[in-house]
Amino acid sequence: MTTTTVEAVNLGKRFKDTAALDGFDLSARSGTVLGLLGPNGAGKTTTVRILTTLLRFDTGSATVAGFDVARDARQVRRRIGLTGQQTAVDEVLTARQNLVLFGRLFRLTKARARERADRLLDQFGLQDAADRQAKGFSGGMKRRLDLAASMILAPQVLFLDEPTTGLDPAGRREVWDAVSGLAADGTTVVLTTHYLDEADRLCDRIAVIDHGRNLVDDTPSGLKRRMGADRLEIVAADPADLPALHAIVAAVADGETVTDEAASSVSAPVKESVAALTAAATSVRDQDLTVADIGLRRPTLDEAFLELIGTDTKEERR
């Protein structure tokens, strides 16, 4: 049975005259990845600091792993891991030495710390680099080691604050694989990120936040659906064919058909995506037209995010 391991209800937090959180709600189920998205200053890091007991909230309530964040902070800390934007590994030590050190700091016995270090090195794909100094690691390897360190006590919930900031594409993929593996093993992951492709790849649900308030909480697919239907797009091989292609697309469209002369393309929203694509392709063939490309384009998470930030927040700011 899936349970809720992180929940916040009507959270409020003020810093002097600024409301960092204003009636914010949040819920994450066990073994899932919840993403917090929003512009700078939206309240993402404040939320993480509150849920990890590093900051007291003013109003509302919050529980993590079944314990009240305000009343049972010590119990919460025993069940969570936290990885900030900067790695916390000692670059002079080897990967194994780093993990054993963290284990000892968490009061594990020497034997238990070594056992846990070996298991995490294997889990995060660092066995081959176990006895190398961390200073020679790539950014992705350092971040994976940092994640491993946060898992020393096998926490029920792992909080990640922009875990891939500054990493190259290869390093980001390494971290993504590690995070996906943790969730698959039952760890609940709450992460903040500015990367929309990261949220799309990793998150089971996404909470979009701005000015300390929820704009929406939905799956990545659900957020995209808010943008409307798929779009049928045809790119002309010869710009002279644009009028004919416009007519073909308009015949199957469920909305305004747009011709972009600069891109030599025609597009329109369609409800029955496959049927519309098939009908348009048949018409192109029957009219003996040559096209550079034809296909369906689904709304992206970037478009959904910008639509939310650009419209809903304007209404809230009035």
Alpha-carbon dihedral sign for residues 35, 173, 158, 43: negative
Instruction: Please name the amino acid found at residue 301.
Output: L
Largest alpha-carbon pair distance within the chain? 77
Distance CA 10, CA 207 (A): 14
Separation between Cα atoms, residue 242 and residue 54, nearest integer Å: 59
Taken in order of first residue, the domains within the chain and their CATH numbers are 4-224 (3.40.50.300), 229-298 (3.30.70)
Q: Which residues contact 66 (CB under 8 A, 6 or more apart)?
A: 5
What value does the mean pLDDT of the chain take? 90
Q: Which residue has the tokens 């003996």?
A: 288
This prediction's pTM: 0.77
Residue 120 has pLDDT above 70, yes or no: yes
| Rounded Cα gap, residues 210 and 257, in angstroms | 33
pLDDT of residue 153: 86
pLDDT at 209: 92
Element (H, E) at 260: strand 258-260
Name the residue among 195, 178, 161 with its Cα closest to residue 86. Answer: 161
Which one-letter amino acid corresponds to residue 107?
R
Residues 68-80: pLDDT tens digits?
Answer: 999 999 999 999 9
Model pLDDT for residues 191-201, shown as the tens digit of each residue: 998 888 899 99
Instruction: Name residues whose C-beta falls within 8 Å of residue 274's C-beta, 6 or more positions apart in sequence.
Output: none
313 pLDDT higher than 50: no
What pLDDT does residue 318 have? Answer: 33
Interval 150-185: pLDDT, tens: 989 889 999 999 888 888 888 888 889 889 998 999
